[in-house]
Chain A
Amino acid sequence: MLVGEAAREHAIAEAICRSSFEPKLYAAMRLRNPGIISLCKRTGGEYVTGKTTDPEFIVESAKRFHVDFVFVGPEEPLFHGVADALEEAGIPCIGARRAPAELEMSKAFMRRLMWKHGIPGRLRFKAFKEVEDAVAYIREYAESVALKPARQVGGKGVKVIADLQAYLSREKAHVKEQHAKIISEEHMKGYTDIEDRILIEEKVEGPEYTLQAFTDGRTVKPFPLVQDNKNAFEMDIGPETGGMGSIAGRGMLLPFITLQEYRRSAEIVKACVRAVETETGYKYKGVVSGQMMLTAAWGPTIIEFYCRFGDPEAVNVLPILKSDMVELCQAIIDERLNKVKLEFEDVATVVKGIAPKGYPDRRDLAKGHPVLVDEEAVKRKGGRVYYASTDLQPDGTILTGGSRLVEIFAKGKSIPEAGRKAEACIPFVRLADGWGVFYRSDIGSEILLKRRIEQAELVRGVYKYRFRKGLVGKTIEWIPGRGKIVLEA
């Protein structure tokens, strides 16, 4: 039984249904994802809708369907202890227990963990329980910072402010202070499951990428690297979204990340999985993803953790998974992941999200529009449709849920080739009431790749210099009147 209803879960469902074990797929969803529903029907399974964060609902559904195991797609059910409840009921679960899932749920926990265990790729941070203290800190010290809700709140509420021009500092300080209040009053509203409210981190710059992996708590098996594109509009302009599309290159790599950097990223993720077990006493079983950045400070650096696949990143890698998904899941359950191979087709992939106008800031406007997708035409153009924020109605119409409505997947010999294929599929997705949709035509383009490569080269030059000078993991400063100060990280 699959829990979740986004494009990520559609991709997981499809990978499960490809298995040679010929499984029956069951699903527990908040909205009725038409892609997942059709897979349930095709394999002779069933689905239920309800509150997927409610452990009781999930356990009952799993019992009713007599499922062999449960795969939890999104993070919130895990934060609410769905994996714990399932295992206590004797139902194996792919998805971390509540305690290890704190790696994603509490960004403050994650940072403290990295510092305590001396894991590379950590950033300097301050966690605040009171908004007043955060605002006071911003007034006193904060320059270029990232302000985050201390808890994962659906990827929202993060504000990154580079504050390098003294002449614009006052305006930026105003935004930082106001945003800290918004985090506390809006984004963190209603969350009582962690103590910290606001996290302030040093601001870093560089190309971002996601390292997704399966783990049984002993072995960590990384997937090919993927890069998501967060700005709503082309050329990285516009407000932050959940991701407008993503790319993955051949040979498990991205064109701007070296093999050594990939390996080091995987080492960091492994170290964190080990540290989590040490701290919580629970083995981490399921999916773990490092939302990473190549920075001048460390090279590979952790920005955030996911206790799940990324979305859209999952849609890049799961369709090209050659290994048997059910076999992999069984290996995670049995803690013998080291015995099975994780293999992928050696192709480049591009995923493009299509969103209704109004997304991301006015979801009220983006919601409730009837969706028209010509899946056959998309297939003819060499793409595949993964349904995202959509809700299948009893009469067969599909309505938008307010976020990206579908993600288009395409593969090719190179990223630009896959990008062109995905691009050709876009006209076959529209809204029947004439409400507009948008997507990013530049994702997968040569010009954007060139930009990322240039950015990576710049950062790589600096972190390699720091390695040569023995400066990685520390900062040496000279404060006039106080002298030399050596800071860790």
Chain B
Amino acid sequence: MGSGIVGIYGFSKLWKMARFVYYALLALQHRGQETCGIVTYDGKGGLYSYKAGGLVDQVFSQPETLENLKGWVGIGCVTTVAEKDSSLIQPAIVEGPIRTALCFDGKLLNLKSLRRKVSPLEPRTEAELLALLFSRKLDVGLHPVEAASQLMGEVKGVYSLVALTERGEMVAVRDPHGVKPLAIGSFGFDYGVVASESCVIDVIGADFKSDVQPGEIYYFDEYSIERRQAVKPKPKYCAFEHVYLARPDSIVNEVPIYNTRINIGKILAEEHLAENADLVLGVPETAIPFAIAYAQKAGKPFGLGFVQTGRRIRSAIKPTQFERLVGVQLKLNPIKSAISGRRIVLVDDSVVRGTTTKNTVNLMRNKMGAREVHVRVGSPRIVTPCPYGTEVPEKDELIAAHLSPGEVSKVVGADSFHWLSIKGLVKALGIPRKNLCLGCFTGKYPIPFEDEK
């Protein structure tokens, strides 16, 4: 499942961490808008938890909700998957043998063999399964770093996780492939923080230190902090993370997301210059840096074409077509005076199903009076869904898996239509291709499933 995770460890018991976790989750909201939850630890009452479906500021709208989450340690999570039964929402909590809460971003690839280790009825979700396996290792007396290290050996999959026990031990793990991001930071002598993205660390006023390396474990308790490179890194960083998922103010895998997106815009202009166009627009918000750089490289003015209504919505990861449509319509109210009579390059972030692009192009042409619309997409063609937990629609919905660029151009009603090349993407990232997962663009996934899907 796609999620955003965070764990904050206070080095003094004076700290009340719930509000820090809350703002951390707000900074992760773009990674999941369906559920959210926080678990805290205060050394007295074990673990405190609150979780529900909805956006972070809705779920935690009552002041007492955060007040009740006591303690100087907290973990939290936002996810992309709606869940009615709140006990199934992350952070998962297993009651025994050692009460443990766990947040998890990713997908287990040997779920069946892992399930055989436990009673079939117990863990109901992947996060619960991981929490239970970890808890059992602690119960036989393993140090949490050793327990996490062993768990890393047994679990095949793609994951970043953070767990918190009723004994006040917090452990963060990034899988040996590092498909999902995880960053570490700290605030003076006062707290340490691990989070899916570095922007979280900025938002809660701490200093970003570095990525948690693939195969690395960070551990915090009342008396110590430990770091262990448990497994040699075999990086397969998710390229889609850089193109679309992460916030532009984050640094992921040592690469500033903003720089990559600027590179993408430049390369897109090199690969597919729309010579006749006289104005470049970007579809808010992810495509804006692409469009700025495209315009710069093409020597054409960049304009503001759309205004958003209401809160930031990640329309592409909304679960139903209706919600996506509402999302897009609210997100994209065009500015007629900017568009009318112009020959426009419309830069979009990722054309997945094609429906929203089609709506937008139609609107610009038919209602706003654009003379030409040339669509440029800041990602390569997305041809398969992600088996590692990123929310990408099923294959039969993916326009690029079925139609050629020429056909897509006609379907969406554009004068020309081009995707970024995979080569261009790799160049924009500046990460060696062998260290990347480009599966959604190539159909080739580097980490095998041990179970049949």
Contacts and interface: CB of A to CB of B under 8 A. Distances in A.
Interface of A: 159-162, 164-165, 167-168, 170-171, 174-175, 178-179, 182, 230-240, 357-358, 361-362, 365, 438
15 contacts: A159-B189, A167-B19, A168-B204, A171-B15, A175-B190, A179-B12, A231-B186, A234-B227, A235-B184, A237-B184, A237-B192, A238-B11, A238-B192, A362-B223, A438-B224
B367 interface: no
B188 interface: yes
A175 B209 contact: no
Contacts of B190: 159, 161, 175
User: For A165, A234, A235, A237, which residue has the most chain B Cβ atoms within 10 angstroms?
Assistant: A237
A-B complex: 10 closest residue pairs judged by Cβ atoms: A240-B189, A237-B186, A239-B11, A233-B225, A235-B209, A175-B14, A178-B14, A165-B205, A237-B192, A362-B223
Contacts, number: 76
User: For B184, B207, B225, which residue has the most chain A Cβ atoms within 10 angstroms?
Assistant: B225
Contact of A365 (B14, B203, B223, B225): B223
Contacts of B41: none
Given A178-B14, A358-B223, A238 B204 contact: no
Dominant secondary structure of chain A at its interface with chain B: mixed
Contacts of B207: 236
B184 A162 contact: no
A175 B13 CA distance: 9
A239 B23 contact: no
Contacts of A438: 224
Contact of A232 (B14, B184, B210, B225): B225
Contacts of B184: 235, 237
Given A171-B19, A174-B14, A165 B189 contact: no
B225 A238 contact: yes
Nearest to B210: A235
Interface string B220-262: 0011110100000000000000000000000000000000000
Interface in B173-200: 184, 186-190, 192
B219 to A, nearest CB: 10
Nearest to A203: B188
Interface in B1-20: 11-12, 14-16, 19-20
Nearest to A235: B209
Given A160-B189, A238-B189, A362-B223, 11 more contacts: A159-B190, A168-B23, A168-B204, A175-B190, A179-B12, A230-B189, A233-B225, A235-B209, A237-B225, A240-B189, A362-B222
Contacts of A362: 222-223
B209 A168 contact: no
Nearest to B218: A237
A361 B19 contact: no
Interface string B155-178: 000000000000000000000000
Contacts of B188: 160-162
A296 to B, nearest CB: 16
A235 B205 contact: no
Contacts of B11: 238-239, 361
Nearest to A357: B224
A7 B3 CA distance: 49
Given A167-B23, A235-B209, A236-B209, A179 B189 contact: no
A171 B72 CA distance: 11
Interface string B17-32: 0011001000000000
Contacts of A239: 11-12, 189
A60 B70 CA distance: 56
Given A171-B15, A239-B11, A165 B225 contact: no
Contacts of B187: 162
Contacts of B14: 174-175, 178-179, 182
A232 B11 CA distance: 11
B192 A168 contact: no
A236 B224 CA distance: 14
A162 B227 CA distance: 26
Contact of B20 (A168, A234, A237, A238): A168
A147 B188 CA distance: 13
